[in-house]
């Protein structure tokens, strides 16, 4: 049973069960980076002083004198008069400290090729790439789109861009040409960095042809001047003369003499698009000094990182915020040694992840509940064939982890002793906001538990008042935090509207949560029209608009239905145009699944598409998605009395049942 998307009432604690807790072992606590719980109290007394102290762990080319400027809420500025170079903090600083020979990245390609890069080597590569980008005209303030597989050049490209004071917009390699183009246009990117392809599930998955398709859309004119292509898979790709350049050919002209300039702390670092409640993805803007402060501090604290001895591995792709904060910026700012793996966990078989842990002696492992559930389904006999004794901390992110998966993760992967840090955060928060600290917190399976030191999270009622212990409500953040979203690219009104209009002075995260009697926080899923599929955010509105763009579709409604493996799955209900009744429902279903994948990307492909003749609507014409969700999840249909036609739901649920 998965209760992660259940209602507050169906929550186990609500039923009066006492949660079992797992305190840190005495050995873990004695060696932990944080052993003294007074850190919470000290940070709460003076959060700005706390964050200023953490910020001073970074190397500033011009020290800051101001900490927080909140004179124009909700637009925060942190450390605004300070200057730093984010890439130099992740690279040159460690080399200068004599750590150049430490491995930064152990890369494992899906076909089995490997490559290790020390901090000195990574710095060398990034400096050369920065020189190459400069000659292509990239300067401070520009935007560069990156559409890459999980290979070291993805990290090198990101760091080279930010070294120049420009901002990247990484687009996940699974997104379609349409989605890529919309992101390129919105950010007005002048350069796209891509690869011919990458390896996924034992096959070559093409990237450059998708870039070509994206740039050919809308009559071909775009802001893009050049496309820089990394050779990875060596399959033939077309190169458009005057526009497209091979990375490996260009780079030979550049040496590694490159001085990193400092840029203001509020200089844009990156834009990352994420789904909201409307059809148009939001370009979440992050800046430099505050972001790097919080990602590096949380990476060190939450994972109890010991950069000298740990081997860290986060399985996220750099196309998502987890890949930005906990593959690129947090670990590299902390001088960590990490593993980057290109492919999927089941290639060539389900032992792949565990063999990588064994091979590199991974000690900190960070992944998503959906992956843990998929491994559970395959069975513990697979990981049990490998030596996982190097593991000492496990992390979870992206959705609530159901207690059953938590227990399996701890027992089978963590030898029954490794602490699990269940980390709640968002693209918008930039860094971890709620999580146990492994040397201090007694863990509760299924709960993200405690706000990080210096972070002021509340669970509130609709009026914005804190709820009592034992109650549920909406999750908000009261005080600004260093890595907070600075705005939605090109749309300041939407930023205010989406996050600040509900409560005025509190950031509204869009999640429901409950505080238990000990004050621990339990996340209960989104309260808006955002779905969480395999830890990825998708908007119902975006998929609905892709469906109605299909010539056969008259109307559509999309819901996120509980799914045992992926947390939620996309279920679509469509009404076909009358002249399309010649398509059988089965044909329409197949065709529309393909259509959504082509329009948005494979992650948005519906699990099911139901062709129906009517949708449940209120008398004022609003679609009642709640009832469709009941039907998709096979539940009794809720209250239908407000429907204009109460018989509609009966027909729809009969239709859904006939599929089962």
**Strand partners for 477:** 457, 507
Of residues 134, 426, 565, 642, which one binds ligand PRX by CB under 6 A?
A: 426
In the region spanning residues 443 to 482, those forming contacts with ligand PRX, defined by CB under 6 A, are 448
Nearest residue to 138 (alpha-carbon basis) of 222, 61, 226, 207? 226
Nearer to ligand PRX among residue 228 and residue 533 (C-beta):
533
Regarding 395 and contact with ligand PRX (CB under 6 A), the answer is: no
Contact between 64 and 55 (Cβ < 8 Å): yes
**Strand partners for 435:** none
Regarding 400 and contact with ligand PRX (CB under 6 A), the answer is: yes
**Tokens coding 359:** 């091979």
- Residues in contact with ligand PRX, counted by CB under 6 A, come to a total of 21
Regarding 427 and contact with ligand PRX (CB under 6 A), the answer is: yes
**Residue 349 DSSP one-character state:** S
Nearer to ligand PRX among residue 78 and residue 508 (C-beta):
508
Question: To which residue do tokens 């004599």 refer?
Answer: 98
Nearer to ligand PRX among residue 484 and residue 656 (C-beta):
484
Contact between 367 and 132 (Cβ < 8 Å): no
Nearer to ligand PRX among residue 268 and residue 323 (C-beta):
323
**Strand partners for 514:** 472, 522
Of residues 291, 425, 481, 573, which one binds ligand PRX by CB under 6 A?
A: 425
**Tokens coding 8:** 């507050």
Regarding 321 and contact with ligand PRX (CB under 6 A), the answer is: yes
Regarding 484 and contact with ligand PRX (CB under 6 A), the answer is: no
Regarding 397 and contact with ligand PRX (CB under 6 A), the answer is: yes
Regarding 424 and contact with ligand PRX (CB under 6 A), the answer is: yes
Regarding 537 and contact with ligand PRX (CB under 6 A), the answer is: yes
Question: To which residue do tokens 């593991």 refer?
Answer: 391
Residue 627, helix vs strand vs coil: helix
The least CB distance from residue 282 to ligand PRX, in Å, is 10
Regarding 509 and contact with ligand PRX (CB under 6 A), the answer is: yes
Strand order in the sheet with 521-526: 457-460, 472-477, 507-515, 521-526
Regarding 526 and contact with ligand PRX (CB under 6 A), the answer is: yes
The least CB distance from residue 120 to ligand PRX, in Å, is 31
Nearer to ligand PRX among residue 326 and residue 610 (C-beta):
326
The least CB distance from residue 204 to ligand PRX, in Å, is 27
Of residues 274, 337, 338, 599, which one binds ligand PRX by CB under 6 A?
A: 274
In 10 A of CB 62, how many CB atoms? 13
Of residues 210, 337, 532, 599, which one binds ligand PRX by CB under 6 A?
A: 532
The least CB distance from residue 448 to ligand PRX, in Å, is 5
Regarding 511 and contact with ligand PRX (CB under 6 A), the answer is: yes
Answer positive or negative: Cα dihedral of 630, 631, 635, 637: positive
Of residues 523, 604, 611, 623, which one binds ligand PRX by CB under 6 A?
A: 523
Regarding 423 and contact with ligand PRX (CB under 6 A), the answer is: yes
Regarding 398 and contact with ligand PRX (CB under 6 A), the answer is: yes
The least CB distance from residue 428 to ligand PRX, in Å, is 7
Regarding 430 and contact with ligand PRX (CB under 6 A), the answer is: no
The least CB distance from residue 170 to ligand PRX, in Å, is 13
Nearest residue to 632 (alpha-carbon basis) of 570, 576, 547? 570
Contact between 449 and 424 (Cβ < 8 Å): no
Regarding 144 and contact with ligand PRX (CB under 6 A), the answer is: no
Regarding 322 and contact with ligand PRX (CB under 6 A), the answer is: yes
3-state helix, strand, coil in the chain (%, to 5): 35, 25, 45
Regarding 574 and contact with ligand PRX (CB under 6 A), the answer is: no
Contact between 461 and 446 (Cβ < 8 Å): no
Nearest residue to 319 (alpha-carbon basis) of 200, 177, 171? 171
Nearest residue to 512 (alpha-carbon basis) of 529, 533, 527? 527
The least CB distance from residue 372 to ligand PRX, in Å, is 12
The least CB distance from residue 406 to ligand PRX, in Å, is 11
The least CB distance from residue 447 to ligand PRX, in Å, is 9
Regarding 214 and contact with ligand PRX (CB under 6 A), the answer is: no
**Residue 626 DSSP one-character state:** H
Q: Which stretch in 393-401, 498-506, 616-624, 652-660 sits in contact with ligand PRX by CB under 6 A?
A: 393-401
Q: Which stretch in 56-64, 69-77, 404-412, 503-511 sits in contact with ligand PRX by CB under 6 A?
A: 503-511
CA distance 492 to 490: 6
**Tokens coding 538:** 């998708």
Nearest residue to 297 (alpha-carbon basis) of 43, 513, 37, 69? 43
Regarding 421 and contact with ligand PRX (CB under 6 A), the answer is: no
Q: What are the phi and psi torsion angles at 613 (to 5°)?
A: -100, -15
CA distance 512 to 278: 19
CA distance 593 to 605: 6
Q: What is the CA radius of gyration of the chain?
A: 24
Regarding 179 and contact with ligand PRX (CB under 6 A), the answer is: no
Nearer to ligand PRX among residue 569 and residue 576 (C-beta):
569
Regarding 270 and contact with ligand PRX (CB under 6 A), the answer is: no
How far are the Cα atoms of 102, 105, 360, 539, 582 from residue 310, in angstroms, in the given order? 11, 12, 10, 37, 61
Nearer to ligand PRX among residue 509 and residue 631 (C-beta):
509
Q: Which stretch in 449-457, 509-517, 576-584, 647-655 sits in contact with ligand PRX by CB under 6 A?
A: 509-517
Contact between 160 and 190 (Cβ < 8 Å): no
Q: Which stretch in 56-64, 76-84, 219-227, 391-399 sits in contact with ligand PRX by CB under 6 A?
A: 391-399
Regarding 531 and contact with ligand PRX (CB under 6 A), the answer is: no
**Tokens coding 122:** 């990574």
Regarding 436 and contact with ligand PRX (CB under 6 A), the answer is: no
Q: What is the distance, to the nearest Å, from the Cα of residue 65 to the centroid of all Cα atoms in its chain?
A: 32
Contact between 222 and 187 (Cβ < 8 Å): no
Contact between 323 and 355 (Cβ < 8 Å): no
Regarding 85 and contact with ligand PRX (CB under 6 A), the answer is: no
**How many residues does this entry show for the chain?**
660
Nearer to ligand PRX among residue 251 and residue 405 (C-beta):
405
Q: Pattern of binders to ligand PRX over 95-134, x per CB under 6 A? A: ----------------------------------------
Residues in touch with ligand PRX (CB under 6 A): 274, 321-322, 397-400, 422-427, 448, 509-511, 523, 526, 532, 537
């Amino acid at each position: 049973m998965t209760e992660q998307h259940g209602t507050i009432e169906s929550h186990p604690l609500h039923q009066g069960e006492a949660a079992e807790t797992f305190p840190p072992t005495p050995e873990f606590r004695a060696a932990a980076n944080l052993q003294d719980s007074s850190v919470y109290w000290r940070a709460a007394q003076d959060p700005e002083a706390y964050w200023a102290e953490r910020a001073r762990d970074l190397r500033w080319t011009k020290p800051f004198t101001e900490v927080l400027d909140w004179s124009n809420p909700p637009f925060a500025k942190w450390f605004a008069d300070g200057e730093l170079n984010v890439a130099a903090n992740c690279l040159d600083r460690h080399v200068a400290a004599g750590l150049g020979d430490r491995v930064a990245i152990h890369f494992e390609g899906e076909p089995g090729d490997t490559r290790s890069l020390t901090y000195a080597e990574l710095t060398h590569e990034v400096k050369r790439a920065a020189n190459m980008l400069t000659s292509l005209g990239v300067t401070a303030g520009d935007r560069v789109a990156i559409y890459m597989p999980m290979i070291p050049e993805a990290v090198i490209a990101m760091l080279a861009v930010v070294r120049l004071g420009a901002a990247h917009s990484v687009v996940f390699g699974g997104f379609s040409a349409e989605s890529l183009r919309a992101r390129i246009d919105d950010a007005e990117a002048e350069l796209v960095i891509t690869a011919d392809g990458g390896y996924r599930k034992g096959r070559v998955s093409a990237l450059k042809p998708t870039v070509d398709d994206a740039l050919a859309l809308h009559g071909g004119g775009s802001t893009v001047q050049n496309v820089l292509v990394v050779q990875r898979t060596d399959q033939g790709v077309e190169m458009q003369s005057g526009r497209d350049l091979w990375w490996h050919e260009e780079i030979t002209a550049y040496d590694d003499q490159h001085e990193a300039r400092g840029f203001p702390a509020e200089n844009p670092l990156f834009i990352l698009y994420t789904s909201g409640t409307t059809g148009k993805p939001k370009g979440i803007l992050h800046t430099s000094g505050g972001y790097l402060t919080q990602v590096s501090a949380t990476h060190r604290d939450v994972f109890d990182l010991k950069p000298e001895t740990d081997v860290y591995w986060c399985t996220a792709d750099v196309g998502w915020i987890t890949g930005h904060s906990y593959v690129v910026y947090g670990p590299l700012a902390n001088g960590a040694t990490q593993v980057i793996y290109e492919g999927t966990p089941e290639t060539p078989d389900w032992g792949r992840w565990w063999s990588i842990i064994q091979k590199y002696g991974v000690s900190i492992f960070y992944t998503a509940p959906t992956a843990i559930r998929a491994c559970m389904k395959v069975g513990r006999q697979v990981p049990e064939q490998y030596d996982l004794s190097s593991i000492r901390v496990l992390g979870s992110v992206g959705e609530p982890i159901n207690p059953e998966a938590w227990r399996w993760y701890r027992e089978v992967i963590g030898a029954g002793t490794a602490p699990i840090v269940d980390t709640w955060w968002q693209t918008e928060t930039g860094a971890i906001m709620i999580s146990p600290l492994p040397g201090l917190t007694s863990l509760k399976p299924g709960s993200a538990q405690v706000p990080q030191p210096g972070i002021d999270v509340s669970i509130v009622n609709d009026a914005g008042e804190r709820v009592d212990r034992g109650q549920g409500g909406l999750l908000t953040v009261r005080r600004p935090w260093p890595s907070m979203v600075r705005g939605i690219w090109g749309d300041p009104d939407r930023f205010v509207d989406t996050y600040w209009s509900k409560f005025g002075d509190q950031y509204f995260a869009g999640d429901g949560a409950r505080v238990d009697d000990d004050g621990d926080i339990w996340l209960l899923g989104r309260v808006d029209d955002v779905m969480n599929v395999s830890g990825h955010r998708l908007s119902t509105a975006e998929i609905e608009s892709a469906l109605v763009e299909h010539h056969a579709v008259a109307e559509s409604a999309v819901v996120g239905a509980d799914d045992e493996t992926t947390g939620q799955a996309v279920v679509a209900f469509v009404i076909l145009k009358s002249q399309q009744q010649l398509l059988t429902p089965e044909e329409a279903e197949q065709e529309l699944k393909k259509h959504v994948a082509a329009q948005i990307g494979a992650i948005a492909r519906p699990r099911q598409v139901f062709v129906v003749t009517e949708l449940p609507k209120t008398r004022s014409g609003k679609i009642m998605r709640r009832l469709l969700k009941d039907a998709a999840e096979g539940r009794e249909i809720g209250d239908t009395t407000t429907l204009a036609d109460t018989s509609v739901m009966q027909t729809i649920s009969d239709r859904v049942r006939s599929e089962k």
